[in-house]
Structures are given as C-alpha cells and as structure tokens.
Amino acid sequence: MSETLASRTAVAPLTSPLTIRMHADDNVAIVANDGGLPPGTALPGGPVLRDKVPQGHKVALVDLPEGASVLRYGVPIGYALQPIPAGSWVHERLLKMPEARGLDDLPMATRGAAPMAPLEGFTFEGYRNADGSVGTRNILAITQTVQCVAGVTDFAVQRIKAELLPRYPNVDDVVALEHGYGCGVAIDAPDAVIPIRTLRHISQNPNFGGEVMVVSLGCEKLQPERLLPPGSIPISDTRADAETEGLDVVCLQDEAHVGFMSMVESILRQAEQHLKRLNARRRETVPASELVVGVQCGGSDAFSGVTANPAVGFCTDLLVRAGASVMFSETTEVRDGIAQLTARATTPEVAQAMVREMAWYDDYLKRGSVDRSANTTPGNKKGGLSNIVEKAMGSIVKSGSAPIGNVLSPGEKLRNKGLTYAATPASDFICGTLQLAAGMNLHVFTTGRGTPYGLAAVPVIKVATRSDLARRWHDLMDINAGTIADGQASIEDVGWELFRFMLDVASGRQKTWAERWKLHNQLVLFNPAPVT
Ligand code: CA
C-alpha cells in the first residue's frame, strides 16, 4: 500500500485531504485526492473516515438515517437504504434511486433571466460558405446513400488522398460519410425521417463547403433524390453550372461502368471537380458569433460535474454572450433536470418543445422495456457516479446559465444562434453525429474516465476532468480542468482557456490531439425505425 501511495503522491500536488461539496444543502461531498483517502483520515471541518473512499466517490458528512435524502447539487440523488454513519463511503448499493420527475406541472419559461452583457471583439479565421455558414476546416465529404458502397468509396478515398489531395494543398482532408443505413430498412416508417434528415444535413455541414457529391449503388431504398431533394443543396456562384447539372451522383450500377476500376475512376474524376473549387477558398476573419459548438460528455466520473462541465458551462455563457450558437444534448442525461431546463426556456413554446422531446424519449425507452437509468456505465459507477440522477445533475451544467432559446428534434438543422437544446441520445457517437447534422463546426467533449473520441468532420476538443487523467493521457487531452479540483485554477480560468483555445482551433492555428493522431470515430445514425 505504501508503495502505491508514495508513487501516487510523487505525481500528485494534493497531499492534505480535500473534499468537494457542490451546494450548501449537500450532506455528502466527494473525495478529490488522487488514489482516494484511507479510513481514519480526519476531514477538515468534517468527520473521520470510517471506510476507504476512492477518488471521486462520496462520503457522508453527517449521520444519514434509513430513508434519508442524500443531497448533492442541492437535490436528492437517492435515499439511504440503511442507516449510513458520518464518515462512511456512500456508494450506489446504499442508495435507492428517485423516480423520474413527471412531465406535468413543470415551470414553463418562469426564470426570466436578466440579459447577459454582450462579449465583443473576438474573431476567428474561417471559411465563409455560400449559405452564410462558416467552416472551421475545408474538407471534401463524399456522401453515400447506402452501406453497400462503403468499400468502393473507401478504396477511392485512399487513392484521392494519395494522388489528388497533394495537388490541392488548401483542402484539409477527404472524408467518406460511411453509415449503416440506406437499405434493408422500413424507409416509410414515421421515424425513418430521423436517419434520412441526419444524413442530408451532415452532407451540408459547414466544414464541407457546399460541395456535395454522392456515391449511390442504384437499387437501394434511399435513392439520391430522396436523400437530397432538389433545392436542398445551396448552389454557390462558382457552381452556377451545377444547378442545371443537378445532383452530382456516381451510381455504381450505371451500365457505363465496366469493372471495379471504372467505378473508382468515376469517383476520382468527380472528386477532382470539387477539390478544385474547395482549393480556391481562403480563410477570412469572421466574428466569434459564427461558431456553432456542440458540447457533450463521455466516460463521465464524479469530477465531470465539478470541474470540466462547469468550465464548459462558463465557456457556453461566453459563447452565447459573443453571439455564437451552442448546442447541448444527451436526453437521458438531462431528463432528471427537466424542471431546471423548462424554467430556463425563453418562451412557454420552447419549454413545451423540450417536454415533447423528453416524452418521446420516455416512450422510446419504454418500448425497449427500460428507462433512463439504463444510461449509466460500470465506469461511471467506478468513477463515483451512483446513478443517472447524480450523472444528470453534473451533465446539465455544461449548458451554463443562458436562457434556452431553441429546441431541435434529432437530425434537424440548427436555425438560431444562442443556446439550443438539441435532443439526441447520450451515446457519444450518435450525439456527435446528430450535432454534426445540426451544423456544428466545433465539438467540445469532457471526459473523466478517459476516451480517445474524435470525428473526421470537425475538430473535437477534449477536456479532462482530473489532473491524473490529463497527466496519463497527456497526448490525448487538450484541456485539463482537473486544475480546478487541485485548487490551481478557477472555473472561470479554465472556461476562458477553453474559449481562447476554441478560437485558435477554429482558425486552424491549433490542432486538437484527436486531429493530430487522426482519431476518427464512425458516424452512427440514430434510427428508431424498424429494419427489415
Ligand atoms: Ca455522451
């Protein structure tokens, strides 16, 4: 034990016991020290520990009788299943989870927050698109109607990267938008609208410059015209000819193709036309209000809601004050905070839209015979999060304090600036995919347990919740919010550090670690409709 403790102490700046309480009403606090604290440790101004309490886990600050509310963030995250003496480790096996808040009688747009002071003078260097949106990267994306064409498209993309891309140095990358949809699905089911519009809107992401090209098989259910109906692609001045040409589609079953290489050559030929136009684009100075930021968390621990998520929340407020767009998502992780969110809506209609999304998701989970508690992972629990209520309270703080002005259903495209609730599953890959469809040009991802998550289409800035993770994953984590728990930085300090880093990354002056290593997770579509 002494060896482990000694080696931990050697890299950890914290030597005296430190616990963090989030709200004055809380009767538990979490242990901040690397490696946790041993029994017998006297907490400053608190009880003596009866058990070993791991880092990020909760300790009872007072005696909790059976049935008592265990309060964190000032709300009950559970009820004691047995008497819990002060100084005990409070883990999930000692708690009964509260019922989900009903969706009736919620406070609707009641908060009436004072307007936030505008934040002016911040800019970044971005690629202005014909539709007014701004890209942070200059990427050729190849849209696919169906999974059948994925292998051929990938083969062609490897050749494009090797043979064509070096001739177009202003283009950052070529990305195949591979997915599992397009055929073998009940395409006329009502919920099929979600995967279809997700794919449509991803192909229009600001980082792709409006240069849409499609690879289709020919016999698939999701025909190119259904995926991208006339009028869905804004035509730039430089592409006036494209309007008469219609959608740029390479169809593999076209009789003109004789042999595999003929298909590949077709894709290369079409890709080169788009590369030429993308290569002519230049970055220009644009206001910070052109940022469209999607925030989410993954691999969360008890520090997520203490360090990284509050810092992201502070940064969210900065972005909103700068006139930018910020989306927060992850329905199962905000469901338990629904009353806070509906109160923060700008209008009763926005609050009602949030209730509609929560009700839809409650039904969706019920169809699968589960509820929102299916969200938490073994890693969450190991990291100190007892249940979904505790996780949700820590997750929601990413949204900061701004009024919520808009709600998106899964796969919809963002229409407004300011703070938006974009309803998505909490699954990292599905949430990221849906935020891409909404039009995000920068992604912020907080993690406590650690995940190497990245996307090919937009830069992903990863924020570590603990210094221990930031030290071990020094070439994967972009920002260390663990300094907040260490007492070395404030939430505001890290929020500003993140804001400035975002402007550098958006401008291409900085690359994220996931970009440097080219760590790209797959696009994963949310398809609540049946497959056939
Ligand atoms: Ca997530």
d(CA 485, CA 20): 8
| Residues in the chain, total | 532
- Helix H or strand E encompassing 237: none
Contact (Cβ atoms closer than 8 angstroms) between residue 192 and residue 532: no
The token duo for 120 is 């002016």
d(CA 456, CA 518): 7
Ligand 1 centroid – CA 428 distance (Å):
4
User: Which protein residues have a CB closer than 5 Å to ligand 1 (ion)?
Assistant: 296, 298, 426, 428, 431
The token duo for 281 is 């684009």
Ligand 1 centroid – CA 107 distance (Å):
27
Confidence of residue 2 (pLDDT cuts 50, 70, 90): very low
Q: What is the largest CA-CA distance in the chain?
A: 80
Ligand 1 centroid – CA 417 distance (Å):
22
pLDDT for the residue numbered 5:
31
d(CA 155, CA 279): 22
pLDDT over 90, % of the chain: 91
Over residues 82-106, the pLDDT tens digits come to 999 999 999 999 999 999 899 999 9
How many other C-beta atoms are found inside a 10 Å radius of the C-beta of residue 260?
12
pLDDT at 323 over 50: yes
pLDDT at 6 over 80: no
Bridge-partner residues for 76, per DSSP?
A: 71
What are the start-end ranges of the E strands in 200-344?
213-216, 248-251, 284-287, 292-297, 325-328
How many other C-beta atoms are found inside a 10 Å radius of the C-beta of residue 151?
11
Ligand 1 centroid – CA 119 distance (Å):
29
pLDDT, mean of residues 9-31:
80
Contact (Cβ atoms closer than 8 angstroms) between residue 293 and residue 327: yes
Bridge-partner residues for 140, per DSSP?
A: 174
- Helix H or strand E encompassing 447: strand 442-447
How many other C-beta atoms are found inside a 10 Å radius of the C-beta of residue 33?
22
pLDDT for the residue numbered 419:
98
Q: What is the pTM of this model?
A: 0.93
pLDDT for the residue numbered 60:
98
| Range with the largest mean pLDDT of 4-8, 241-245, 463-467 | 463-467
Ligand 1 centroid – CA 173 distance (Å):
26
Contact (Cβ atoms closer than 8 angstroms) between residue 199 and residue 177: yes
d(CA 62, CA 526): 44
Ligand 1 centroid – CA 290 distance (Å):
24
pLDDT at 12 over 70: no
pLDDT for the residue numbered 233:
73
| Cβ neighbours for 312, distance < 8 A, ≥ 6 positions apart | 295, 397, 398, 400, 444, 446, 463, 495, 498
Over residues 227-275, the pLDDT tens digits come to 999 888 765 545 545 444 579 999 999 999 999 999 999 999 999 999 9
Ligand 1 centroid – CA 523 distance (Å):
14
Ligand 1 centroid – CA 77 distance (Å):
20
Over residues 361-413, the pLDDT tens digits come to 999 999 999 999 899 999 999 999 999 999 999 999 999 999 999 999 999 99
Ligand 1 centroid – CA 447 distance (Å):
9
pLDDT, mean of residues 170-192:
98
Ligand 1 centroid – CA 430 distance (Å):
8
Query: Distance from first CA to last CA of the chain, Å, rounded?
Result: 56
| Cβ neighbours for 347, distance < 8 A, ≥ 6 positions apart | 109
Ligand 1 centroid – CA 300 distance (Å):
9
d(CA 412, CA 434): 8
How many other C-beta atoms are found inside a 10 Å radius of the C-beta of residue 408?
24
How many other C-beta atoms are found inside a 10 Å radius of the C-beta of residue 183?
16
Rg (CA), the chain: 25
pLDDT for the residue numbered 341:
96
Q: 382: number of CA atoms within 13 Å, CB side? A: 8
d(CA 318, CA 337): 22
Ligand 1 centroid – CA 362 distance (Å):
18
| Cβ neighbours for 532, distance < 8 A, ≥ 6 positions apart | 184, 185, 186
pLDDT at 7 over 60: no
The token duo for 372 is 């929102």
d(CA 472, CA 454): 18
What are the strands of the beta sheet with 292-297, ordered from one edge?
404-408, 418-422, 325-328, 292-297, 442-447, 460-464, 479-480
Ligand 1 centroid – CA 292 distance (Å):
18
How confident is the prediction for the chain on average, in pLDDT? 94
d(CA 224, CA 214): 7
Contact (Cβ atoms closer than 8 angstroms) between residue 71 and residue 28: yes
d(CA 418, CA 348): 17
Ligand 1 centroid – CA 291 distance (Å):
21
pLDDT for the residue numbered 112:
82
d(CA 453, CA 465): 15
Contact (Cβ atoms closer than 8 angstroms) between residue 107 and residue 339: yes
Confidence of residue 426 (pLDDT cuts 50, 70, 90): very high
Confidence of residue 115 (pLDDT cuts 50, 70, 90): confident
Ligand 1 centroid – CA 295 distance (Å):
9
How does strand 123-128 pair with strand 284-287? antiparallel
